[in-house]
A and B are shown apart, each in its own frame.
Chain A
Amino acid sequence: MVVQSAAEAITYPAVGAELDIEGISHAFDIDGATLPVLDNVNLAIAPGEFVALLGPSGCGKSTLLRLVAGLEKPRAGTLREDEVRISGPHPSRVVVFQDPTLFPWRTVWDNVALGLEAQGILKAQRHRVDDVIELVGLSSFRNAYPHQLSGGMAQRVALARALVNDPKILVLDEPLGKLDSLTRIAMQSELVALWQRKGFTTLLVTHDVEEALVLANRVIVLSDRPARIKADIAVARPYPRHRGDPYLAELRKQILGLLGLEATW
C-alpha cells in the first residue's frame, strides 16, 4: 500500500504496477529525415497512481503510450513495469484507443472475450467476460454487433475488453475524445469509479485540461515536439471531484499558461 504525502492522504490497493520511464528518446524516419518525437523523458509512476499526460497536439504523447504498451521500441532509454524491462506487448498493460476499434465481425461478448481467447484461457474463465460486461452496464447488448452500438457504448465495450484482462497498468489514449460532452462527463465518473474499485495504475493521454484535472491525481504537462516534461503537477483533491472546484480552476489556469494558452482564460 502506498500513501501519498499530499494534503489528503489517498490510499491505493496494491493491484497496480509501478511504471518507470527512464531517459526515453524516440524518433521517426519520414522521407529520409529523422523526426524526433520524445526527448529524454523521465517519469516514475507509483502503483495505483492515475497520471494524465497533457500536451499540444502531435507532441508525441501517443507515441509515449505506444512505447509503454510495448507496441514499439524506444531509440534510447528503458521502460520498466515492476522493475521488469518492457520488451513487447503484454496483457498486463492494456491500451484503450481513441477509436473503440472493436472487431466488427465479433459481437460485444466476443469482443470483450478477445484477450482471454488470445491468451488461451477463455474456456476456463468465461465468467470474467460476463462480469466485466455487467460492470460497464452492457449486459443487454452482449449479442449486439459493434455497428449497432452508439459511440459511448462502443467505448464502454473497449474499456470492458481491456478490463477483462485485469491489467496492472491501464493505458488510455484519449478514450473519451470522440464522445459527445454529456456522454463524456458520465464516462469520466465511471472511469474514476472503476479505477478506485480495481486499483490499477492508469496512464491517460488527453487534450482536455479539465478532464485531466477531474480524473488524475498527477498531471504531466509535455512540451511541443520533441516532447519533454514541462511540469509535474499533483492534484491533491479527493474524489468525486467537482468541475467548479476553485482549486481545480486555479490549476487549470496554471496548466493553460504552461501550454501557452493563458489568453483564453
Chain B
Amino acid sequence: MSTYSVSDATAAAAPRAAITLADLSGSYGVGLAASLVWLAFGLSCLYWPDVGDWSRTGSLGIGAIVVAAFILFGTFSADYLGGAGQALRKRAPWLVAFGAFVTLWEVATAKFAWLPLPFFPPPQSILEVYTDDLPKLLDSVFASIKLQLGGYIIGATVGFITGVSIGWSQKIGYWVHPVLRFIGPLPATAWLPIAFFTFPSSWSASTFLIALATGFPVTVLTWSGVASVSSAYYDVARTLGAKPSFLVLKVAIPAALPHVFVGLFMGLGSSFAVLVVAEMIGVKAGLGWYLQWAQGWAAYANMYAALIVMSLLCSGAITLLFRTRDRLLVWQKGVVKW
C-alpha cells in the first residue's frame, strides 16, 4: 500500500510506536478516508469528461487534490500540529461527508446532468464565479458590511441607551414605553415604502431600517435587564457610599449585560433580514442586490456563490458577537458556545 509507506516515514521520525493496523481503522482511519474521498473528487474532475462546457473543471480538480494532500499530511502529523491537529482530527468525519457531498454534486451535474440546468450548476461554475466575478462580489460584500455595520452600531447604541434610561427612570419610561409598544413590534420592513421616499438617500433609509430592527430587541432586553437587577446590589453599593452615577454605570449596566447580549443577538438576526430586503428593493449595491441581479440574469451559479458568502458573513458576525460576550462575561457560568 503506497499510503502506508508515506505514513511509515512519519512514524519513523516519531519516538512513539509505529502506526499499526488498529490505528488505521481508528484515529487515522477517518482522516485517511476523508483524504481518499477528496482525491476521488479531484480525479473525477480531471479525468472524467464533463457533459457540458465548464471552464474551471481542471482547477477544481487540482484544488481538490491539494485539499486531499493537506488532509493526509494533517492526519498523520496531527500529534505534532498541536491545536490545529486536534481540530482536524475532530472534524475528519465532516470532511468525509462534505467530500462525498461535493463528489455527488459534481457527478449529478457535470458528469451525468441529472439535475436540470440552469437551476443546479456544478461546483466548478461556482468556483468560476469566485475567480471571474470577484471584483463585483467583493464590492457587494463591502457595501453590505458598511451598511449593516453602520445601522447596527447606531441601532444598538440607541437601543442600549434607551433601555438603560427606561429601566432606570420611571419618568422616561412613562413617555418612551407607549411609543416603544406602538412602534417596536412592527416589522422594520413594513417601513420600507415610507423610508425610501422620506429619507434623502436609499442608503440613509436602509441604515434607519437596520437601526430600527436592531434597536427594538436591544431596548427591550436592556430595559428588562436593568429592571431585574436585585435591589440588594443597590443597597450594598449605597451603604458603601455609591452615588447614582455609580449605581447606573457600575451596578445596573454590568448586571444587565447578559440580557443586553441576548438583545444584541436578536437584533443582529432581524437586522440581517432587513439588510437583504433593503438591498434587494432600494439600494443598488450589496449582496442582496447581487442576488437580485443574478436572478434577473438567471445566473444561478452567482446566486449560490453569493449565498455562501452571505452565510459565512452572517455566521462570522454572530461568532464575533459571541466571542465578545464570552470575553466580557467570563464571570458567568454555563453560557452557550456558538
Contacts and interface: CB of A to CB of B under 8 A. Distances in A.
Interface of A: 66, 69-71, 89-91, 93-95, 97, 99, 101, 103-106, 114-115, 117-119, 145-147, 161, 165
Nearest 4 CB-CB pairings of A with B: A115-B240, A91-B241, A118-B242, A89-B238
A147 B333 contact: yes
A89 B239 contact: yes
Given A101-B232, A103-B254, A105-B254, A95 B333 contact: no
Contact of A71 (B239, B251, B255, B257): B239
Interface string B234-254: 011111111100100011001
A70 B242 CA distance: 13
Contact of A105 (B230, B239, B329): B329
A105 B256 CA distance: 10
B242 to A, nearest CB: 4
A119 B241 CA distance: 6
A28 to B, nearest CB: 15
A115 B241 contact: yes
Interface of B: 230, 232-233, 235-243, 246, 250-251, 254-255, 257, 329-333
Contacts of B242: 114, 118
Given A105-B329, A114-B240, A119-B241, A95 B233 contact: no
A70 B254 CA distance: 25
A202 B233 CA distance: 22
A71 B235 contact: yes
Contacts of A114: 236-237, 240, 242
A46 B3 CA distance: 89
B329 A118 contact: no
Given A95-B239, A99-B232, A103-B254, 9 more contacts: A90-B239, A103-B255, A104-B331, A105-B257, A106-B254, A118-B250, A119-B240, A145-B330, A165-B240
20 contacts: A69-B235, A69-B239, A71-B235, A71-B238, A89-B239, A90-B241, A91-B240, A91-B241, A93-B239, A95-B239, A101-B230, A101-B233, A101-B236, A103-B233, A105-B329, A106-B254, A114-B237, A114-B240, A117-B246, A147-B331
B331 to A, nearest CB: 5
Given A105-B329, A115-B241, A145-B331, A97 B236 contact: yes
A63 B239 CA distance: 15
Contacts of A118: 237, 240-243, 246, 250
A105 B240 contact: no
A115 to B, nearest CB: 4
A94 B240 CA distance: 6
A97 B235 contact: yes
A249 B329 CA distance: 50
A88 to B, nearest CB: 8
**Chain A CB within 10 Å, residue with most, of B230, B239, B254, B257:** B239
A103 B232 CA distance: 10
B241 to A, nearest CB: 4
A103 B239 CA distance: 14
Contacts of A165: 240-241
B256 to A, nearest CB: 10
Given A104-B331, A105-B329, A89 B232 contact: no
B234 to A, nearest CB: 9
Contacts of B243: 118
A148 to B, nearest CB: 9
Contacts of A90: 239, 241
A226 B333 CA distance: 42
Nearest to A147: B333
**Chain A CB within 10 Å, residue with most, of B241, B246, B330, B333:** B241
A70 B241 CA distance: 11
A100 B153 CA distance: 37
**Chain A CB within 10 Å, residue with most, of B232, B237, B240:** B240
Given A105-B329, A161-B240, A117 B235 contact: no
B4 to A, nearest CB: 50
B241 A89 contact: yes
A69 B246 CA distance: 19
A66 B234 CA distance: 13
A103 B230 CA distance: 11
Nearest to A70: B239
A37 B246 CA distance: 32
A105 B236 contact: no
Contacts of B331: 104-106, 145-147
Contact of B255 (A99, A105, A115): A105
B236 A117 contact: no
A94 B255 contact: no
A265 to B, nearest CB: 36
Contacts of B238: 71, 89
A91 B242 CA distance: 9
Nearest to A171: B239
A119 B242 CA distance: 7
Contacts of A106: 254, 331
A97 B235 CA distance: 10
A130 B63 CA distance: 60
B232 to A, nearest CB: 5
Contacts of B330: 145
A95 B250 contact: no
A14 B176 CA distance: 53
Contacts of A104: 331-332
